[in-house]
Structure 1
Amino acid sequence: MRLLILAFALGAAVLQTRPELPDLRWLWLLPPVLLSLGLLPNSRWLRPALTLVLALSAGFFYAAWRAELRLADELPMAWEGRDMRLIGRVDGLPEKTPRGWRFVLRVASVATPGAHAPKKVQITVSSFTDTAIAAPRGGQCLSVTARLGRPHASVNFGGFDYEGWLLERAIRAQGYAVDGFSPAYACRYNPLALLDGWREAVRERLNGALVGQPYAGVIVGLAVGDQNAISETQWTLFRATGVTHLMSISGLHVTLLASLVFALVNWGWRRIPLLAIRLPARQAASLVGFATALWYVAMTGFGLPAQRTLYMVGMAAAALWLGRIDSPTRVLAAALALVVLIDPWAALAPGFWLSFGAVAVLFYVGSGRLARPAVWRQWLMAQWAVTLALTPALLLMFQGVSLVSPLANAFAIPLISLVAVPLVLAAALLPIPWLAHLAHGVIALTMTGLTWLAALPQPVWHVASPDWRVLLLALLGTLILLLPRGIHGRWLGAVLFLPLLFPIRERLSPGEFRLDMLDVGQGLALVVRTGGHALAYDTGPRYASGEDAGARVAAPFLFANGVKRLDGLVVSHEDSDHSGGAASLLVSHDPVWRLASYPLAGASKCTAGQTWRWDGVDFAVLHPVARFYDEPGFSGNDMSCVLRVSSPYGSALLTGDIARLGELSLALLPAKVLQSDVLVAPHHGSGGSSMAEFIQAVHPDTALISVGYRNRFGHPTPVTLGRYRAARVRVVRTDKEGALRIDFKVAGRVELHADATEQRYWRHR
């Protein structure tokens, strides 16, 4: 049965990698296959093998059926970008943004005639004046006039799939409020709305009790699952020390809290004969332990990660109630089946693999041991086993692993899960301010230790994302290394682990180079790599959420490709859609040198005539000329630093946001200096750029346009696209193709790769 469940879960996971959904009419083949299994001879391998294939197919088609139902709940294309009046309840807790609020609305009705909206939409309310926006409240019934669009997010090689994240949460449209919102009274009664209202009240009370305290956001996160107030500096510290899972309502907290309550109830119940006669202590403890887990998960608003843990705890409680605790792996398999049945998109979440993987590893290292080691040795063994086993997954998903994580978790888990969390829950239930301050003191003590560990040399080890072959070898090596002592050949596990720790990177030959245009929305971020060097040209925008493309997109991309430090950084000009991520990249990848056309920390002034050569590839700054810095006619976009990259295998022209004046200046250059095979279209293809004379002077084969989906500027304009079409230039856009990669390896031919070629069935591209 365990193998069948694994096959079913694997089938559901495979569906999430497909570019399109299968035809569900294939399901009609399953009944005949089931009948044929009964007619097969009782072979040792044929019938079991076909049964596994059937289970895998069942998981695949079950997930496809669920996906078809969810995709049917969509915003009609005809209503994208049009105003519609929605009435519904705020689902969960609203999130504070730099300019207002963002919340999920569970739509009850659409008041605009002829309009249709999905059941759940994400809405942003912003103010661009000094007028404060009234805060929406969790569970509140609202009327809002919104302008919605289908889910659309950046798609980068190996990057986070935000559209998949939205799909798992059934959020099928995003948009913004046109003129704020107002209370409404036409929503149906919903018990979850009362729960969200109570969570909102708890959040307000805790924030009020901890005004001015540095870790108030962590306390609120542990109480109601709202991580909005945790600063980016604190998240950086948590990532560096490998304790991010401890700073919100995580599976570990739910499990340990339920286990603690189970142990206490089991101990106390046995000592009261009247109770023990009516109901065995183990059953009472399992019931109360599960109820505790259910209550704590409810405090998160039943967030999906916490739900997965609740199902695992529920299966364990059922096994304890029934006395079926002889095989923990059966309990784990039953929990896996329940999770996949309820949430077939769970495989999209790193937490799914990490949580089930961690529990499976603990079961694995706890089996086959003749003697039970001391408690402290069990604790150290568990830390070592989980760290080792999850390293391949962490490197695959996050391109790095904290080297100090075992030490950090060794003291942080007891302090936070067993001390801080009970205090936080008491503070959430009881209006006693000193409880919140006591919990804050425990968090502050933990943070002191984490800060010390993060200050050690290189607390995080980054390495290029491994491919599937290296990953399989590392997982096999993990199983061998974690075998009980005394078994010969355990050293072979370390050998199998080596390719993961010291990956062999693809090496570009002299003269070859690779240009990556990252999908950062409405902005620009490029990476140029040669055989032994890497340069970033522009860093993307700063987003309304307060994050920036440097931290969210560029840095993970560089780490995933084995780039730990940039050899150079060029920021074309100061506009935030080009320079917004610079500060983050300066911290994460500390460029050896920097060029910019505006004052940037540690940067030299970008001036025409600057040249350098890396690995047989030539780099030349073509614009602006030094005297342009003193001429009033040249400013802003037209002062963008223009860089040409060339080798015997081809050339690319990176243009920033130059407009007509800058283009005319460049068009006067000799053809051998300017002409390029690939042109990064100036100013995202705006109407005031990409003049016909400039396109003719550059004479490109391909134009790349970095542009946001349905952006408010209308880029690229039809006029600009017409100019490229007239010049017979192929145009490729990030809003349609995702991140773009061009390899210059063969003279006279550029190789274009788009991330959207690895399509997923939920992406609107």
Structure 2
Amino acid sequence: MKTGMFALALGLLTLRFLPALPATGWLLAMLVLALMLLPFRTFALAFFLFGLSWACISAQRALDDRLSPALDGQTRWLEGRVVGLPQQTSTGVRFELADSRSRNARLPRLIRVSWHGGPAVHSGERWRLAVTLKRPSGLLNFQGFDHEAWLLAQRIGATGTVKDGERLTPASNAWRDALRQRLMAVDAQGREAGLAALVLGDGSGLADEDWQVLQDTGTVHLLVISGQHIGLLAGLIYGLIALLARYGCWPATWPWLPWACGLAFVAALGYGSLAGFGVPVQRACVMVGLVLLWRLRFRHLGAWWPLLLALNGVLVLEPLASLQPGFWLSFGAVAVLILAFGGRLGPWRLWQAWTRPQGLIAIGLFPLLLMLDLPISLSAPLANLVAVPWISLVVLPLALLGTALLAVPFLGEGMLWLAGGALDLLFQGLALLAAHLPAWIPADVPLGYWLVSLAGAVIVLLPGGVPFRLLGWPMLLLAVFPPREPVPHGRVDVVQLDVGQGQAIILRTRHHSMLYDAGPRSRGTDLGARVVLPSLKKLGIASLDLMLISHADADHAGGAAAVARGLPVKRVVGGETDGLPEFLGTRPCLGGERWEWDGVSFELWQWSGAVDGNPKSCVLQVQANGERLLLTGDIDRAAERALLDSPLAVRTDWLQAPHHGSRSSSSRAFVQQLAPTSVLISRGRGNAFGHPHAQVLERYRALSSRVYDSAEQGAVRLQLGAFEPATVVRAQRRFWREPLR
């Protein structure tokens, strides 16, 4: 039976790695084959097919519920009910609508919308809204967070921006929202948002600085309701009843073990209802329930059984859970502890039981964090040694008791005040640790080296008496210092990142690196910190020889400060120096400046007649092995005419379309004289500026230029000097991504 359950788990997990979902006919064939195998007792293959079929059917239903392409970009009036807890942002409110209806249009069951400058919105209200609808999408880079996968895992079928609206009915059955407002209104020494995260699972009120501290110290799991919190509460109830029974204070007619397991599970469900029963909470409740059942009836079967049953239970209920990093990390952490504790002979001393689990989890999760492209906190074992018991034994009990006693004058608020003070004290300590040892973003690791590192982690976690166990350490650390294939001499590795309505292009020669523009920063979102800096580190770039900012507009220069704080930058050059942070020490662009790196030539140009703004963009031409790349910033037609009289006005293989393909640029004369073979366009999908303009695209297509559009294809990577086509992220097939057009 264990083999069948393991095969079922493999089938359910296979969904995560499929490039495309099987057609309906293949799914029916797999189900029929699975049924035919059962009489022959070929349970492993049958259960695998059952798991894979069910996961694919569930995923297809989620894909079919996405917004119709015909409605993409349309603004329509719709009616819907607010579900979950609306999130207040720096610019407005973000919330989700269920049961939405619109005249003559079928809408997804769940829509996530943002309302910039909108009024207060509460859970349970029904609204009539004018929403500009969009199909689920997100920034798509070679490494990093995949927003499309996250939206599908949440079964969100559309996103949108609210233009106007009116409340139709007030909130009903919105006790969680009312409780959040009550928690945010108490005096918790400035940590009201942190208590709301602990009690209700709502982390939207936490500042970006707090999230950064939690990430740097590997303690994000402490402020997001997870199996640890729900398991802790269940464990406290179980331990209390066991203690009462041990000292004869429990009724003798009531068997203490069934009561302890039952009440502990009720407590877990109650905490889960406070947290809104999202997918992570459902996963935690299933795991706690199975552990309690194992303790009650099946302890003789070993510790791996409840983990395997919980894994299957979670994936059967929600097969798309495997698209979320938290799924892998939570089950991975439990598996690491079972592997480590399962081989232990005799009890550990108290200090060993306190310190060793954190180190073991750090070792075991290292390969998983690499696979998921997540930052790795070097201080996590130390931080969690203090943070886990502090949150578990001090902050969380005070927060839950204070919330339960809010109706009692002074008592509940007093306990929440103490909980907030304890949480603030913890944050102060974590901030000091994060300042000295921030999270590490490792360079991308090839699959072969990752597999060796995974094997090394497993070997290190084996019991101490296993022969050759020490060999696991060099295998594990191989992923820290993997050998890298350098850029060939005379060539340039070029990556145009997907940063939405902005621009950031990385250029690497054999021994040098530079960044042309640093991505946008707007409405509190700094893509220099979120996308550009992690991408540089993933490419193994430890410092920049040059950061060239074409001009000072926020969509090109907004992320420069974050990049400069995260990496050493030897020189910063800008088309405009005004408007850029002073600490960058930006030098002005000098037209005609030339230099050579590793057999590759670079040359700058700037229109001398430009005063400021887009026309003053610093233009860069790169030549490698006879192949040319021209990066033009946001120059307009007037600057283009001036450039046509310069030495740079020659046939170009790769052209970055000026001003994101705007109608004010890419004049016919400019396009015809440069006659680019390929064109790079960096822009946001559905942007308000209409980039790129249809007439501009037609000019490029008339010359048979191949257009690489970041909004359609994601990040673009090419090797200048190889005379080869570029690769794009969307070409890497995933079943949740729309295929290339």
TM-score per shorter chain, which class? over 0.9
Matched residue, 2:56: 64
Matched residue, 1:107: 99
1:234 to 190, 210, 214: 210
Secondary structure of the 2:319 match is: coil
Task: State the 1:424 CA deviation.
Answer: 1.3
Matched residue, 2:443: 464
Kept in 1, the 8 Å contact 2:142–2:729? The answer is: yes
The superposition leaves residues 16-72 of structure 1 with CA deviations (integer Å, 9 ceiling, x where unpaired) of 333321023223354445545655xxxxxxx8xx64344333222211111122222
Matched residue, 1:503: 482
Task: State the 1:459 CA deviation.
Answer: 4.3
The superposition leaves residues 613-647 of structure 1 with CA deviations (integer Å, 9 ceiling, x where unpaired) of 2222222211244xx4xxxx532111111111222
Matched residue, 2:516: 537
Matched residue, 2:618: 641
Partners in 2 of 1:37 and 1:138 — Cα distance? 47
Matched residue, 1:137: 122
Percent identity among equivalent residues? Answer: 37
Matched residue, 1:740: 716
Task: State the 1:733 CA deviation.
Answer: 0.8
Secondary structure of the 2:112 match is: strand
Task: State the 1:465 CA deviation.
Answer: 2.5
Matched residue, 2:178: 201
Matched residue, 1:566: 544
Matched residue, 1:758: 732
Partners in 2 of 1:217 and 1:565 — Cα distance? 37
Kept in 1, the 8 Å contact 2:241–2:250? The answer is: no
1:284 to 244, 259, 270: 259
Secondary structure of the 1:750 match is: coil
Please tell me the residue identity of whatever aligns with 2:113: I
Matched residue, 2:199: 223
Secondary structure of the 1:528 match is: strand
Partners in 1 of 2:498 and 2:442 — Cα distance? 22
Kept in 1, the 8 Å contact 2:522–2:554? The answer is: no
Listed as ranges, the gaps of 5+ residues in structure 1 are 40-46, 128-132, 188-192
Task: State the 1:502 CA deviation.
Answer: 0.9
Kept in 1, the 8 Å contact 2:34–2:49? The answer is: no
The superposition leaves residues 59-106 of structure 1 with CA deviations (integer Å, 9 ceiling, x where unpaired) of 222111111222222322222333333222211111112221110011
Matches within 5 A, 1:410-489: 410-431=385-406, 432-456=412-436, 458-489=437-468
Task: State the 1:125 CA deviation.
Answer: 1.2
Kept in 2, the 8 Å contact 1:300–1:306? The answer is: yes
Matched residue, 1:43: none
2:672 to 691, 696, 702: 696
Task: State the 1:342 CA deviation.
Answer: 0.9
Partners in 1 of 2:161 and 2:374 — Cα distance? 34
Distance 1:233 1:308, change over 3 A: same
Kept in 2, the 8 Å contact 1:87–1:184? The answer is: no
1:86 to 55, 78, 88: 78
Kept in 1, the 8 Å contact 2:95–2:112? The answer is: yes
Secondary structure of the 1:707 match is: coil
Segment drifting more, 4-13 vs 355-364: 4-13
Matched residue, 2:409: none
The superposition leaves residues 154-187 of structure 1 with CA deviations (integer Å, 9 ceiling, x where unpaired) of 11102211111111111101112221332337x9
Kept in 1, the 8 Å contact 2:244–2:250? The answer is: no
Distance 1:565 1:8, change over 3 A: farther
Matched residue, 1:705: 681
Matched residue, 1:401: 376
Q: Would you say 1:617 and 2:600 are equivalent positions? A: yes
Partners in 2 of 1:29 and 1:164 — Cα distance? 25
Distance 1:36 1:417, change over 3 A: closer
The superposition leaves residues 486-511 of structure 1 with CA deviations (integer Å, 9 ceiling, x where unpaired) of 33211211131232121112211211
Please tell me the residue identity of whatever aligns with 1:75: L
The superposition leaves residues 396-450 of structure 1 with CA deviations (integer Å, 9 ceiling, x where unpaired) of 3245422211111001000012210111112222223221220111112212322
Q: Would you say 1:316 and 2:291 are equivalent positions? A: yes
Task: State the 1:477 CA deviation.
Answer: 1.1
Kept in 2, the 8 Å contact 1:684–1:715? The answer is: yes
Q: Would you say 1:728 and 2:717 are equivalent positions? A: no
The superposition leaves residues 579-611 of structure 1 with CA deviations (integer Å, 9 ceiling, x where unpaired) of 222222122224222112233232111221233
Please tell me the residue identity of whatever aligns with 2:322: A
1:555 to 533, 548, 573: 533
Secondary structure of the 1:262 match is: helix
Kept in 2, the 8 Å contact 1:265–1:288? The answer is: no
Q: Would you say 1:607 and 2:590 are equivalent positions? A: yes
Distance 1:609 1:5, change over 3 A: farther
Listed as ranges, the gaps of 5+ residues in structure 2 are 407-411
Partners in 1 of 2:528 and 2:720 — Cα distance? 25
Segment drifting more, 557-566 vs 98-107: 557-566
Matched residue, 1:266: 242
Partners in 2 of 1:98 and 1:367 — Cα distance? 48
Please tell me the residue identity of whatever aligns with 2:122: R
Task: State the 1:480 CA deviation.
Answer: 1.5
Distance 1:221 1:660, change over 3 A: same
The superposition leaves residues 202-236 of structure 1 with CA deviations (integer Å, 9 ceiling, x where unpaired) of 2222222237x443322221121221221122222
Task: State the 1:270 CA deviation.
Answer: 5.0
Partners in 1 of 2:503 and 2:120 — Cα distance? 33
1:390 to 358, 365, 370: 365
Kept in 2, the 8 Å contact 1:537–1:570? The answer is: yes
Partners in 2 of 1:289 and 1:543 — Cα distance? 46
Partners in 1 of 2:517 and 2:640 — Cα distance? 19
Secondary structure of the 1:471 match is: helix
Q: Would you say 1:358 and 2:358 are equivalent positions? A: no
Kept in 2, the 8 Å contact 1:86–1:107? The answer is: no
Partners in 2 of 1:64 and 1:645 — Cα distance? 47
Matched residue, 1:15: 15
Secondary structure of the 1:751 match is: coil
